[in-house]
Structures are given as structure tokens and as C-alpha cells.
Amino acid sequence: MVFCGEEDTQQQPDSFRCCPLGVQFYSQREIEPYKIMEMDLQFPGEDSQALATRCCGVVVQSAFVKARDMYRVWLMFTDLPTDVQKRLKCVSKKAGTQCPHCENY
């Protein structure tokens, strides 16, 4: 699930991508390229393994998708701590949400 500002929660499609490099998500509104955004990431897990962190990223692209009547937004992380990168790498691989670059490494 993705929350973007004051928007309602957006259920993401199977093509949802989230990996150590960034996240691709759908939004009801266009988000201009180069906008800096803060994002709260929450990782699943038991209480002792659950992880929540705040990070920043920059919007590298925002494109309208007529079939979904929404905008597909690509956000590249700019300050993800190393421990969170490692955790996200494992979680994204298990969930199948890696981007094509991460799938090859």
C-alpha cells in the first residue's frame, strides 16, 4: 500500500517495484520531476524484526497511465542507510519487487 500526501491509500498493481535503488508507485496526482520527497518505509516482520525508517528520494519521472487513470511515479532513494538497503534487498527479492537492475545483481 502507498500513501502519497493527503491522498487515499493506493493499492499498487503486481508491477509495483521497490528495491534499494528506489520505488515505482501509482499516484492520483502528478508529481513533478526533481521534486525531493520524504518516504516512510515499513518492512514486515515479527515485532523484533519489524523495521520502519524515513528516507528521502528524488522523483525521476512521473507519467500518466490512461488505463489506470493515475500517474506512475519513479522515485530514486538518495539517503537510504546501508542496513536498510540490505534489508530492502532481501525483502524486495523475496517479494518479487526488484527493479530490472537489481534483478541482475
> Rounded to 5 degrees, what are φ and ψ at 62?
-145, 120
Please report, for residues 11, 24, 28, 44, 55, the alpha-carbon distance to residue 68 in angstroms, rounded to integers and kept in the order given.
Answer: 12, 14, 10, 27, 27
What pLDDT, on a 0 to 100 scale, did the predictor assign at position 1?
64
Tell me the sheet residues that pair with 52. 42
105 residues of the chain, pLDDT tens digit each: 676 666 677 778 888 899 999 999 988 889 999 999 988 887 766 555 556 788 899 999 999 999 989 999 999 999 988 988 988 898 889 888 998 888 887
Segment holding 55, helix H or strand E? strand 51-65
What pLDDT, on a 0 to 100 scale, did the predictor assign at position 24?
92
Q: Residue ranges of the domains in the chain?
A: 17-98
Query: Has this prediction a pTM greater than 0.85?
Result: no
